[in-house]
Every structure is written in structure tokens, then in C-alpha cells.
């Protein structure tokens, strides 16, 4: 999901937080999964 990757990039760069990801269940789950795969699960809180 490309939009999830965009949010992950913004979160890692500090421009957005996980709380700012829209409450679309599949989107939040994918953003969380990608952050965990990248080794920064603390950003998904």
C-alpha cells in the first residue's frame, strides 16, 4: 500500500506521528507493520 509507505516516511522524518495516520484500519495496521519491519516499532505508538 503506497500511501502507508508515504506515512511511514513522514513519521520517520518527524513530520507526522502515528496518531496522525487516518483512522482507516487497514492503513494504520500497514503503517504499524512497516515501522516494525524497519526496526522502529516505538514510532507506532
- Residues 1-45: pLDDT tens digits? 899 999 999 999 999 999 999 999 899 999 999 999 999 999 999
Distances in Å between the Cα of 15 and the Cα atoms of 9, 30, 38, 44 are 9, 18, 17, 14
Q: What is the pLDDT of residue 35?
A: 99
Q: What is the pLDDT of residue 1?
A: 85
| Signed CA dihedral, 11, 38, 43, 36: sign only | positive
Q: What is the pTM of this model?
A: 0.93
Amino acid at each position: 500500500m503506497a500511501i502507508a509507505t508515504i506515512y511511514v516516511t513522514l513519521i520517520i522524518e518527524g513530520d507526522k506521528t502515528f496518531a496522525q495516520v487516518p483512522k482507516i484500519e487497514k492503513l494504520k495496521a500497514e503503517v504499524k507493520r512497516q515501522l516494525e519491519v524497519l526496526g522502529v516499532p516505538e514510532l507506532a505508538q
